[in-house]
Amino acid sequence: MGWNMRKIILAGAAVAAVAVFAYLAMKPEPVPVDIETIVSGPIEVTVNADGQTRVRNVYDVSAPVSGQLARSPVSIGDQVVAGETVVARIAPGDPAFLDERSRAQAAAAVAQAEAAVAEAQAQIAMAEADLAHAQTSLNRLHDLYARGTIPQAQLDDAELGVDVAAARLDSAHAAYDMRVAELAAQKATLIEPRSHETVTPNEACCIDVRAPVSGTVLSVASESERPILPGAPILSIGETDDLEIMAEILSTDAVRLQVGAPAYVERWGGAGNLDAEVRIIEPAGFTKVSALGIEEQRVRVVLDLLTPAEDRAALGHGFRVFLRIVEWQGDGVIVPLSALFRDGPDWAVFVVDGDRAVLRKLSVGHRNSDVAEVAGGLEEGARVITHPSDRVSDGALVVDRSTL
């Protein structure tokens, strides 16, 4: 082979190498993507909200009278029996302190009452003397009447005088008793507050308040001894097995719910989810300021727990839970929400056709936080790209990330 031929072969090889290198350099690099296959299945649209458990029927026990409430004989969590368990004991309250003017007035009233007692004693002495004198006169007239020296009318007047004197003595004794009672009442105004350790066992004590229903003590207003007024709260009683859930839901979400709608109770602290059902959607909303300072119109929704009590024994009154209340449920072709994006006014996805991404517009029905119902434009079994990046475009070369 001549030198010229070798030069031609080497030049051809160089050109081929350059062509291959150029082809490889200009060949588009496939974009790694996440691919998911479209399937048919159930879909649920839910309204999600935080809720709080509460005992269905809570009984608040209040004080029937004023007095000194003793230290609580029961504690939170204790079981009580209706009509048997003493949940509170109220003793007579202490008198109030007297200021200087009130004390002086009370002392003067005591002195006045003492003088009235002394006067009543004098009235008794006068009445006794009158009665003795009338009796003496009657005895003398009896002797004279027996001798026939006085008429019957004079004797009758003497007997009447004795009866009147006796009645006056009885009246004087009654007046004395009244004045003594008045003195005791005036002295009572000078009684000072005293320590409960000085109360003797024979003194009147106390009023026992018994549980109105059987259940568990949910709260105690104060465990320590304290003065109390009529109607003041003492404690609350309820049955923790009979729970319901209350949630405050945005009014725009509440209008889409119906009584009897199923719900799932999550994040309650135990294993699995609990079943619940909407019982009440209150007809009146209220304004609530969110943590961001935004005024919101909310509606209270009350749900019944359907899961048996033994499967949620740790759940109690006032516990926080997370609710997913079913607004709509059905079956159909579903597409991941992460695959959807807007193409003008329409929804669209990237469908994988071979090794290319193809833009496909579609109609979307109901949606939840994870998937959407396909109303048209996409068939079951199609492979779509989830979370498409800005490198993915119509006709772009793609490769499944899981195969790399």
Summarised one tens digit per residue, pLDDT across range 366-397 is: 998 899 999 998 999 999 999 999 889 998 99
Lowest mean pLDDT among 43-52, 114-123, 195-204, 352-361: 195-204
For 266-278, b where at least 16 C-beta lie within 10 A, e where not — what string? eebeeeeebbbeb
For residue 120, the model assigns a pLDDT of 92
Report if residue 70 sits inside a domain: yes
Which residue(s) pair with 55 in the sheet?
243
Query: Based on the domain organization, do 159 and 306 belong to the same domain?
Result: no
The model carries a pTM of 0.66
What pLDDT band is residue 260 in, cutting at 50, 70 and 90?
very high
| pLDDT per position as a tens digit, 325-359 | 999 999 999 999 999 999 989 999 999 998 899 99
Total length of the chain: 404
Report if residue 2 sits inside a domain: no
Q: Domain holding 261: CATH number?
A: 2.40.30.170
Q: What is the DSSP letter of 378?
A: -
For residue 286, the model assigns a pLDDT of 95
Q: Domain holding 220: CATH number?
A: 2.40.50.100
Q: What is the DSSP letter of 77?
A: T
CA–CA gap between residue 376 and residue 20 (Å, rounded):
45
Neighbour tally for 325: CB within 10 Å: 26
Q: What does DSSP say about strands 215-220 and 59-62: parallel, antiparallel, or unpaired?
A: unpaired
| pLDDT per position as a tens digit, 197-230 | 555 544 557 889 999 999 999 999 989 999 999 9
Instruction: For 58, list phi and psi in degrees, rounded to 5.
Output: -105, 130
- Asked if the model's pLDDT at residue 151 lies above 70, the reply is yes
Query: Based on the domain organization, do 261 and 355 belong to the same domain?
Result: yes
Query: Based on the domain organization, do 259 and 274 belong to the same domain?
Result: yes
Give the chain's mean pLDDT.
88
Report if residue 18 sits inside a domain: no
- Asked if the model's pLDDT at residue 268 lies above 50, the reply is yes
- Asked if the model's pLDDT at residue 292 lies above 60, the reply is yes
For residue 190, the model assigns a pLDDT of 85
Q: Can you tell me the mean pLDDT for 165-174?
A: 92
Report if residue 4 sits inside a domain: no
Residue 299, token pair as written in the block: 């509606």
What's the total number of domains in the chain? 3
Query: Based on the domain organization, do 48 and 118 belong to the same domain?
Result: no
Which residue(s) pair with 350 in the sheet?
359
Residue 87, token pair as written in the block: 């949940």
Helix or strand run (H / E) with residue 130: helix 100-147
Q: Which residue range is the domain that position 171 belongs to?
A: 100-193
